[in-house]
């Protein structure tokens, strides 16, 4: 029998590793509720509405992570054949990341109130050029380019407005002052505003998170009660300090013709349009204070006119005990989201993968950044996961893709926020625990 040469041995090892990963069982039900110690690339979870547990407010925790220094020579954990390289560090608060048509990386440095841009050297994580595109913003987060081909504008979602800057391909600094196209957005509490354009470029979507955990002071509906609001406002529309919040809105590209797309989305912190279907997707931070495993976070396609439950219900007709009996008219009218994730994982951004660098089975799937939450006894989140799709439809399964940000039960050095697919097919990930940006590539080597 002829001995295998080194290349063949490496290929054989990779094939065995891939087979072992593929054969790993899907964690279901309570088995899917593990903490950070159970996280590793290749672990797959499937959570369904039937797995929902009763609320347990008495078991709710206050367990914010202690920030650790990023280890020297840190090695993030990824599936076989993938590797991560550092693009930039020392950024005050890197949040959403978007890729310009020419390949430049635009990053919202939210606490610094500025928009940064990085131009990577070909095939490298090293920036060839970088700059501060705009300053003087107000907690910027979402970024979009318009039109999609040969964009003339860079749109930025501040916490209280949407502005746009004139843009020409290759600009590292804005050539003119911002033009405000949407103003008066309430900005307290959940302040992350994301934006995305429809495939035809005719609609600008804007997400606006709630002003509280669960509308604790919303009270009874004014002027005629809930029935009046159900007829005159979109289904599940809130009032008082929550009016115009916990929803996704739509506008014309110039900011006119504002309307409501969907309500009851407590905090849709990240949006993306699915290639092929044109469907708008949100990742949503659900409410706190109901125990470690209640309710599930989620990613969902956003349906016109749909109501997703907040603050009265969650995951269908499960009534929040803090609003018991207040809106019986809404029971049975709550849209159940598409992909459920572990409670208190805090998903912040989503990006669909249509690049050509990763293996073919990744095409059409989505990556989601889980920031992690303070409201869980056993820490979870703090990783990037892959949502699995089949023929454009979610399977409901999600898989650990990028882990290694947690140091111990108490300490965390990295908190993923932004995910974006680079022009060359690499995955770009930002995290605001240590203020870094990473480039994930695939070369097939272990």
DSSP element (H, E) containing 87: strand 81-88
Residues of the chain short of pLDDT 70, as ranges, are 1-23, 223-232, 446
Q: What are residue 352's DSSP bridge partners?
A: 366
Spatial distance between the Cα atoms of 24 and 341, rounded to a whole number of angstroms: 19
* Residue 23 pLDDT: 56
Q: What are residue 402's DSSP bridge partners?
A: 384
* Residue 207 pLDDT: 98
* Residue 13 pLDDT: 34
- Residue 51 phi/psi, 5-degree rounding, is -85, -5
Q: What structural domains does the chain harbor? A: 21-445 (2.120.10.30)
Spatial distance between the Cα atoms of 146 and 150, rounded to a whole number of angstroms: 8
Spatial distance between the Cα atoms of 163 and 181, rounded to a whole number of angstroms: 6
Report which DSSP code applies to 147.
S
Report which DSSP code applies to 47.
B
Angle at 68 between CA 66 and CA 70, to 5 degrees: 155
| Cα–Cα distance list, 405 to 21, 208, 378, 422 (Å) | 21, 28, 15, 22
Residue with token string 């990240």: 270
Within 10 A of 124 (CB to CB), how many other CB atoms are there? 14
Region at 47 (left for phi over 0; alpha for psi -120 to 50; beta for the rest): beta
Residues 6+ apart with CB under 8 A from 432: 93, 94, 95, 415, 417
Residues 330/235, Cβ–Cβ less than 8 Å: yes
Cα–chain-centroid distance for residue 269? Answer: 6
């Amino acid at each position: 029998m002829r001995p295998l040469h080194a290349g063949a041995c490496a290929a054989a090892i990779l094939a065995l590793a891939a087979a072992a990963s593929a054969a790993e069982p899907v964690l279901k039900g309570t088995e899917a509720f593990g903490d950070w110690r159970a996280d590793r690339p290749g672990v797959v979870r499937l959570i369904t509405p039937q797995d929902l547990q009763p609320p347990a407010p008495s078991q709710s925790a206050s367990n914010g992570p202690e920030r650790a220094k990023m280890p020297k020579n840190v090695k993030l954990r990824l599936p076989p054949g993938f590797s991560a390289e550092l693009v930039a560090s020392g950024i005050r608060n890197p949040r959403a990341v978007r890729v310009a048509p020419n390949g430049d990386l635009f990053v919202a440095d939210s606490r610094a109130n500025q928009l940064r841009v990085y131009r990577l050297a070909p095939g490298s994580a090293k920036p060839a050029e970088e700059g501060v595109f705009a300053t003087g913003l107000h907690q910027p987060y979402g970024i979009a380019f318009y039109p999609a081909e040969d964009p003339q504008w860079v749109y930025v979602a501040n916490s209280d407005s949407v502005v746009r800057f004139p843009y020409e391909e290759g600009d590292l600094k804005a050539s003119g002052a911002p033009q405000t196209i949407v103003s008066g957005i309430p900005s307290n509490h959940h302040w992350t505003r994301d934006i995305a354009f429809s495939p035809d470029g005719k609609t600008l979507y804007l997400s606006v998170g709630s002003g509280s955990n669960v509308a604790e002071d919303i009270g009874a509906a004014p002027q005629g009660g809930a029935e009046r609001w159900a007829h005159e406002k979109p289904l599940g529309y809130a009032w008082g300090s929550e009016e115009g919040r916990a929803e996704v809105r739509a506008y014309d590209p110039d900011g006119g013709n504002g309307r409501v797309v969907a309500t009851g989305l407590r905090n849709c912190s990240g949006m993306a349009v699915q290639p092929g279907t044109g469907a708008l997707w949100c990742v949503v931070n659900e409410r706190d204070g109901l125990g470690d495993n209640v309710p599930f976070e989620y990613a969902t396609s956003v349906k016109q006119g749909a109501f997703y439950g907040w603050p009265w219900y969650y995951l269908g007709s499960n009534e929040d005990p803090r609003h018991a009996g207040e809106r019986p008219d809404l029971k049975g009218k709550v849209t159940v989201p598409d992909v459920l994730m572990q409670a208190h994982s805090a998903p912040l951004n989503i990006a669909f993968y249509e690049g050509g660098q990763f293996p073919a089975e990744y095409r059409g799937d989505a990556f989601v950044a889980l920031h992690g939450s303070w409201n869980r006894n056993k820490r979870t989140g703090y990783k990037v996961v892959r949502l699995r799709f089949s023929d454009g439809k979610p399977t409901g399964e999600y898989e650990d893709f990028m882990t290694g940000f947690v140091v111990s039960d108490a300490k965390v050095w990295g908190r993923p926020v932004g995910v974006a697919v680079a022009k060359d097919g690499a995955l770009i990930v930002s995290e605001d625990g240590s203020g870094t940006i990473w480039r994930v590539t695939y070369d097939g080597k272990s």
